[in-house]
Amino acid sequence: MASKRLFVGNLNYNTDPEALRTAFSEFGEVKDVKIVMDRDTGRPRGFAFVEFSSEDDATRATAQLNGTEVDGRRIIVNEAEQRKTGGGGGGGGGGFRPRDGGGAPPPRDFGGPPPSNGGGGGGGGGRSKGRGGSRRGSRDKDSDDRW
């Protein structure tokens, strides 16, 4: 007989492996219970995996326990998907390494027209009374004190 893993979601953060083992063992032999923990905080992430010795037992447990309440929360029980193989989470990147001895990188050509040098500070969203520049510099005694 092949074993089968189930995904158990929407768990109460206080649910412990023994409570899950007790709930699921009504349907057959539970080989393993693993509550997934956050690697940064060490606290539960709210889901777990339960492995049954028998596929039939796992199927019955899924049908009977999906949507039932455990520790005050309605749990979700599904067949667990296989982990995707390959990859390994990527590397950590490196530190800063200047190209060709340092300095600024060469300018990039993105294929569009060159940027215009006209304009100025862009105005203040229509509240600057046509003077341009920043909002702060365009206030006068007649203007509103709100920004």
Q: What are the backbone angles phi and psi of residue 29, rounded to the nearest 5°? A: -75, 120
| pTM tops 0.75 | no
CA-CA distance, 114 to 117, in Å (whole number)? Answer: 9
DSSP 8-state class, residue 126 = T
DSSP 8-state class, residue 20 = H
Across the range 51-72, mean pLDDT stands at: 97
Tell me: pLDDT of 23 over 70: yes
Alpha carbon distances (Å) from 28 to 70, 141, 147: 18, 80, 67
pLDDT tens digits along 69-125: 999 999 999 999 987 776 566 666 666 666 666 666 666 766 767 666 665 555 555
The answer to whether 121 touches 132, Cβ cutoff 8 Å, is: yes
